[in-house]
Amino acid sequence: MATKFPAALSPTGSVSPNAGPEGGAPPPRRSAALRGVDRIGDFWIVGVLIVMVVAFGLKSPDHDLFTRASWLNTSDYAVEFLILAVGETFVIITGGIDLSVGATLGFTGMVSGAVMQSMLNGHDNSLLTTVVGFAVALLLGAAIGFVNGYLITRLKLPPFIVTLGSLTAIGAAPALINGGNEIATLPSQLTTIGSTEIGGWIYVTVVIAGAVCICMGFVLHRTRFGLRTYAIGSNNLGARRAGINVDAHLVRVYTISGVLGGLAGMMVTANLSVAAPLAGTNDELNAIAAVVIGGASLFGGRGHMLGTVVGTFIIALLVTGLVLVGVSGSWQQVATGIIIVAAVAVDQVRLRLAER
Amino acid sequence: MSELEVGPLAGERVPVIATRGVTKHFGSVQALRGVDLEVYGGEVLGLVGDNGAGKSTLVNILSGAFQPNSGSLFVDGKRVTFGSSLEARRAGIETVYQDLSLAPDLAVWANIFLGREQTVKGPLRLVGWLDRKTMAREAEADLERTRIRIGSVKALAGRLSGGQRQAIAVGRAVAWGSKVLLMDEPTAALGVEQQAKVGELVRSVSDQGVPVLLISHNLPQVHALCDRVVVLFQGRVVADLRPADVSVEEIVSWITGASLAATTATVGALLRSTGHDGEPGYDGGPGHDREPGSGGGSGNNGD
C-alpha cells in the first residue's frame, strides 16, 4: 500500500501552512465556511450532470432527451455498470482496484444461462429455474471475488495484477460455454424482469440496481463495515494497528464486488433476453470511470456512493445524449476519456485549495 | 503465570510494565542483548539512545509488534506474552506511533473510535449501524482532557495541524483506559511551539496517573520533561538517570558510549562478580541508587 502523508506533511505541502492553528486558535467561522465550500465542492459533479441534461435536452431534435424512450434507454444502459460501480466503489475506497468485474459479468451470465437452459430442457419449473439461475450467478461471482481477495491478501499481490489476471482468464471463458453461442432458452420470469417497465417509466432492473445502490450506500456511509473500508484505504497500517482484520475485510470487499458482478450478469441476461458471451466486455472501465468521476481517489480513502451514481449517469448520458444530437458513438469514448481526466484534475485542484 | 519475582523489593511499588532479559535479533544482527526496564505509575520515563541502539525494537516488543527471542514481559507484575499489537493493547499498553497512525480521510471521532466502533441498539445493530452521535460526543470529551483545541470532532483528521493530530492520537490512547502510553518520537515532525504543546500533553497524561514511556531524540525536551531517563547503547540499558541530577551533556555522553568507556573497567568487574557470564549489561549509571530494579545483576534472564 502506498504510504500516505497527512495533508500538512505531504511532500508538496510542507508543514508550515497548517502549523499554527491550535496555538492562536483558528477562527471557527472561517473553518466552518471552508467546510461549507468543501461540501458544495464535493457535489460539483452534480452540476456537471445537470448541465449535460440541459444541454443535450436543448440540442436534441424536438428535445428528444426528455422523452420516455430516451430515459428508458439511458437508465437501462446505466443499470449494467451501475451495479458494477457500486462494488468498485468499495474496492477503490480501500485503495485497490477490480479489473475483473466486466469479465465476471459475462462469465456468470453465460454459466447461469447454460444451467438455466439445461434445466428448462429437462422441463423444469420456470420459477425454480430463475431462482437457481440467480443463485448460480451470485455464488460464482462470490467465488471469483473471494479468489481475487484471497490472492491479494495472502500472496500480497497488487490488486491490479490479480484482477488483470482474472479479467484475462475469465474473459476468455464465455467462448468455451455453449460453443460461444448466445443462450436464448431462458425462463420467462427472467426475461420479464428485463422487459417490464413499472408505470411505463422504470424497468424492474433499474429498481433492482437502485435498491442495490441505496442499500450499499448505507453500508458504506453508516455502518462499521463502511467506516473500516475507508480506514483501510486511508491508512492501511493504522487500520491494522487499530485491531482491524484488514486482510479479512479486503477479502469481503472483493467478494462483494464479485457478487455484484454476478448480479449484473443476470441483469444483462434479463435485458437482452439472451445470455451473450460478449456481455460485460470493457464494462470494468466504465465502472471505474464512474467511481473516479464521482470523486473517489485511486489512492484510497475517498469516494462516496452518490458520486458513483452521478458518475454512472454522466457516462450513460454521454452515450444516449451524443447519439441524440447526432454525434457518432465513437465520440462517446473520447468524451468519457476527457471527463475522467477533467474530473480528477478538478478534484486535485480543489484539494490543494482546501489545504491552503 | 509467574509473578515478577525480581526488581522491586517486597513492599515496594510494582512497575506497571517491566522487561527482564529481553533479547531480539534479526538474522545475525543482535538488536537487543538482554534489556531490563521498568516503568512505574505516574512517571514520564525517557528512553534514549543513538540510531540502532535498539529503541524502536524495544518499543515494538512492548507494543506487541515483535516477539522477543528470549526474556519476559510483565504487566503489573504478571508475566505476559503478546502475539500481536492487539494483545498488547488489551493488556493496557497503548502506543502513539511516530506517524500517529491516523486515517487522514476520516473524521476525528472516527479516528478515536477506529477498531472499537460503537453501534446503535436494536435491530440495526446486526448490520453494524454506527452510533455516530454517541461517538462524536464521547470523542469531544476525550479530547477535552488533552487540552488542545481541535475545533469540531467532525473535521477530517488530515486537515488538522501537527499538534492537533498529536492530540488526537494521544487522546485516543488515553481514552481507551491505557495503563501505560508509549510515545515514539512524538515531536520529530513538529515545530518548536507545537513541541511545547506535546510536552504539556505528556505531562497532563502522567498527571492522570498514566505513565508515559517517551522515545525521543530531542534531548533537551527529554531532560526537561522526564522524571527518569534510560539510555540504550548497543542493545543494552547502560544508564538509568534522573534529569534532576545530570545535565543534557551527561546524557549525551552515555548515548555515545563515552561514559560507558570511562566506567567499563569498574562496572564490568562488578557485574562479572554478580554472575553475568562475560556479557555484562552495564546498567549502573549515576542515579541508579534511587531506582529499584536498576541493579541489572538480579535479572531472571536464565529462562
Least confident span in A64-73, A112-121, A288-297, B100-109: A64-73
Q: Could you tell me the fold of the domain covering B1-92+179-303?
A: Rossmann fold (3.40.50)
The predicted model scores a pTM of 0.81
B167–chain A Cβ distance below 8 A for any pair? yes
| Nearest CB partner across the interface for B85, out of A31, A227, A241 | A241
What are the percentages of helix, strand and coil residues in chain A, rounded to 5? 75, 0, 20
Question: Are the C-beta atoms of residues B182 and B59 closer than 8 Å to each other?
Answer: yes
Average pLDDT of every residue of chain A: 85
For residues B258 and A7, the model is more confident at B258
What pLDDT is recorded for position B291? 40
The pLDDT of residue A41 is: 60
Cell of B243: 534529569
Q: What is the pLDDT of residue A124?
A: 73
Closest-CA distance, A115 to chain B, in angstroms, reads 33
pLDDT band at A210 (very low <50, low <70, confident <90, very high): very high
Let me know: does A119 contact A129? Beta carbons within 8 Å.
yes
Which one is predicted more confidently, B232 or A65? B232
In a domain, A3, yes or no: no
A10 domain-assigned:
no
Give me the residues of chain B with pLDDT under 70, please.
1-12, 263-303
Lookup: cell for B181: 502510553
What is the pLDDT at residue B289?
Answer: 40
User: Rounded mean pLDDT of A157-184?
Assistant: 93
Residue type, position B163, single letter: G
Q: What percent of chain A has pLDDT over 70?
A: 87
Could you report the per-residue pLDDT of A306-329, keeping only the tens digit for each?
A: 999 999 999 998 888 888 888 877
Q: Does A231 touch chain B (CB under 8 A)?
A: yes
A43 within some domain: yes
Q: Find the CATH number of the domain harbouring A300.
A: 1.10.3470
Instruction: State the nearest Cα–Cα gap between B193 and chain A, in angstroms.
Output: 8
Q: Is the pLDDT of residue A144 over 80?
A: yes
Query: In Å, how far is B189's CA from the nearest CA of chain A?
Result: 8
What ipTM does the predicted assembly reach? 0.81
> Cα-flanking dihedrals φ and ψ of residue A331, to 5°?
-65, -20
Distance to chain A for B110, nearest Cα, Å:
8
The domain in which residue A320 lies consists of 24-355
- The answer to whether residue A8 is domain-embedded is no
Closest chain B CA to residue A30:
B151
pLDDT in tens, A183-209: 999 999 998 888 888 888 889 999 999
pLDDT score, position B135? 95
**Between A and B, how many CB-CB pairs are < 8 A?**
123
Question: Please, what is the Cα angle at B204 between B201 and B205, to 5 degrees?
Answer: 90
Q: Which single residue is written with the C-alpha cell 428485463?
A: A194
Decide if A241 touches B, using CB distance below 8 A: yes
Nearest to B43 by CA among B191, B161, B214, B200: B214
Structurally, chain A folds into a number of domains equal to 1
The ranges assigned to domains in chain B are 1-92+179-303, 102-177
Look at strands B17-26 and A202-203 and give their pairing: unpaired
pLDDT for B270? 58
Q: Which residues contact A152 (CB under 8 A, 6 or more apart)?
A: A96, A158, A159, A162, A250, A254
B30 CB burial (10 A radius; 0-12, 13-18, 19+): middle
pLDDT band at A38 (very low <50, low <70, confident <90, very high): low
Per-residue pLDDT for A1 more than 50? no
Give A36's pLDDT tier (boundaries 50, 70, 90).
low
Confidence of residue A356 (pLDDT cuts 50, 70, 90): low
Q: Does B193 reach chain A within 8 Å, measured CB to CB?
A: yes
Asked whether the beta carbons of A150 and A162 are under 8 A apart, the reply is: no
Which range has the worst mean pLDDT, A216-220, A261-265, B157-161? B157-161
Nearest CA in chain B to A225: B128
Which of B:55-114 have CB within 8 Å of A? 85-86, 89, 95, 97, 99-106, 110, 114
A12: in domain: no
